[in-house]
Amino acid sequence: MTFIESIKTCFKKYITIKGRASRSEYWWFQAMFVPLTMFVVIMSEAENLENSSELILWFYLFCFIVVLVSIIPLITVTIRRFHDTNKSGWYFFLGLIPFVGSLIVTVMMIPEGTKGKNKYGPNSLSKRKK
């Protein structure tokens, strides 16, 4: 799955937690979300934000809105990624453990998904290979 396909798929399945998400779908969406979020956080901490030009402020506002809109697809693609590895979506809440939770979830996203069908549905990649 390409970067653009991943973004389209995640937004198309905006609130869908059923099914599975391939590694590429998950990681490409992360590749969009994480840098954008880091930019918004850095900009919000900038001391001279109020002295910035109006164009920069509009760009910052746009990025902030994109991050807000992307949070739900980020959660749902993470849950579907857990399903791909034959784990419950409830593992998502491990990310709430202070300091190590997000690291645990990140490591759990690395393995290849279950080959063939599992209890969460058919392999998400098998549909595209045909």
Q: Rounded to two decimals, what is the model's pTM?
A: 0.82
| pLDDT over 90 at 110, yes or no | yes
Helix 23-45, helix 3-12: angle, nearest 10? 90
What is the average pLDDT across 97-119? Answer: 91
- Please check the confidence at residue 27 and state whether its pLDDT lies above 50: yes
Other residues' Cβ atoms within 10 Å of the Cβ of residue 74: 18
Per-residue pLDDT, 12: 93
For residue 81, what is the enclosing H or E element? Answer: helix 54-84
Q: Is the pLDDT of residue 107 over 60?
A: yes
Q: How confident is the model at residue 54 (pLDDT cuts 50, 70, 90)?
A: confident
